[in-house]
Structure 1
Amino acid sequence: MKKDKAGCDGKTCLLCRLSLKEWAPAVALQRKNFILNKGETLFTEGDKVNGIYFIYEGRMKVHKHWGTEKELIVRFAQKGDIVGHRGMGGPEQLYPVSATALEQVKVCFIEMDFFQTSLKINHDLLYELMLFYAQELQSSEKHMRNLAHMSVKGRMANALILLRQKFGFNKDGFIDLPLSKQDFASYIGATYETTFRILNELIEERLVAVSGKHFTILNEAKLLRLTEIT
């Protein structure tokens, strides 16, 4: 991770957008900007919490250990998203997840003490963060429910729909997030072998299409039916 001399535009992240105008100079003074290369880790599960990160450019995966050697991807984050917030408020002040760059990523770092002070002063920021936590809690609960009760095929269909909703399609008609088969397996909580087999079934059924690391949806209505839990 290296320093980003160009910095950010002061408009993209939650902190910059929702802070009082009078607070902007303090934010500009406190923030630090960094660049990560693809595959570089921003923080690792179990590290001591030192602050909050806002993504200014690029995309990351947020993941955690699942069993002894497995990884579970909790979510994907992109421009404007916050990462590192899961370490707030815990008694041990340790990050419960890791964050790794999927491509070159630019982040804005804010130390925890200053961020907490910002929440006390900027009520719009505090309110928006509260809504964000509520939405993420709902998403996490659904994700765990799906792991317990939904078939792998259903989880795969659900994952593709969620990725399409978050990232949209690129100009070539694929979901705008290149993803390795291993990362896709980690996102749906399945082995690589099972993921490969089920994905081929969806391709044969003409519900999805795949080109390298690029996925697209051919029949979303049928994918939605696969996500129904009976």
Structure 2
Amino acid sequence: MDEQKRKLKERLDRVWDPPDFTSLFSEPDAPPVQFVKKGSVLFNTGDPLGRLYLIREGYLKIYRLSEEGRETTSYLLGPGQLLGIRTLLSKDDRTLHAAEAVTPLKVQTISRKECFDRIANNPEILVELLQAYRDRLALTEKKFESFIYASTTPRVAIFLADCAEKFGIKVKNEIEIGLELTHQRIAEFVGAFRETVTLSLHRLEDEGIIRVNRGRVTVLDLQKLTDYTTFGRKR
């Protein structure tokens, strides 16, 4: 068995492990780490599509603007996650969303051609990309499911549970979400007014499920938060 087949088989044996893009962005010819300031736009809607970004540190949002100028956040991405997966297979040559740093960022970036060249030499990378597609699809399905709820609170709960899973830091029996979440940012993601989101956060706090302090959300009871996402309780 040659080296490429061995690596691919080893990765397939761990098919349910989270994606790891180290080999895609590592030596030889590792792309340099770029520093991006908070508020900087990596690309706008309609820009040429052709690069992949690996987030090393920090967080960014993927969003769209309506004709009325209202912003809707589609995804939040953090350390270890890949931006630009559509670049590989989409026939579109323009981006459908914009990407903006919500904190200072460290990223690496490669072109579509560079990505294909690296896959040819390291076919196990295909498994990492499939895992990333799976995770993105699961998040999209979960977000669409949340919109069947008339109440905003289940939608907020789904968003916070996802952030706790992706960005959470476990401290004793609590989970601190590493990203600062303003009421407006949550509203842009769940498709609600900021005032309504504020009421939902207060409700979750009153039930002892979360704690909010200066934009930092701590999950106190993940099971109860998950109950909201599972049953869509409307109180």
TM-score (ref. length: structure 1)? 0.80
Q: How does 1:25-174 map to 2 (within 5 A)?
A: 25=28, 27-28=29-30, 31-66=31-66, 68-149=68-149, 151-169=151-169, 174=176
Q: Determine which of 207, 210, 229 is the counterpart of 2:209.
A: 207
What is the match of residue 178 of structure 1?
A: 180
Say if 1:35 and 1:105, in contact at 8 Å, map to a contact too: yes
Shift of 1:211: 0.7
Which stretch shifts more, 163-172 or 78-87?
A: 163-172
| Paired letter, 1:217 | V
| Paired letter, 1:17 | S
Q: Determine which of 221, 224, 230 is the counterpart of 1:222.
A: 224
Return closer, same or farther for 1:56/1:114 CA change in 2, 3 Å cut-off.
same
Say if 2:38 and 2:103, in contact at 8 Å, map to a contact too: yes
What is the match of residue 17 of structure 1?
A: 23
3-state SS of 1:88 partner: helix
3-state SS of 2:169 partner: coil
Task: Name stretches of at least 5 consecutive residues in structure 1 with no aligned partner.
Answer: 1-12
Name the CA distance, whole Å, in 2 between partners of 1:139 and 1:221.
Answer: 19
Name the CA distance, whole Å, in 2 between partners of 1:171 and 1:32.
Answer: 33
Name the CA distance, whole Å, in 2 between partners of 1:93 and 1:117.
Answer: 20
Name the CA distance, whole Å, in 1 between partners of 2:92 and 2:223.
Answer: 45
Say if 1:170 and 1:176, in contact at 8 Å, map to a contact too: no
Task: Name stretches of at least 5 consecutive residues in structure 2 with no aligned partner.
Answer: 1-18
Work out the percentage of aligned pairs sharing the same amino acid.
26
Return closer, same or farther for 1:206/1:101 CA change in 2, 3 Å cut-off.
same
In the TM superposition, structure 1's runs of 4+ consecutive aligned residues that sit over 4 Å from their partners are: 170-173
Name the CA distance, whole Å, in 2 between partners of 1:98 and 1:134.
Answer: 22
TM-score (ref. length: structure 2)? 0.79
Name the CA distance, whole Å, in 2 between partners of 1:150 and 1:224.
Answer: 18
- Paired residues in the alignment total 212
| Paired letter, 2:118 | S
RMSD over aligned CA atoms reads: 2.6
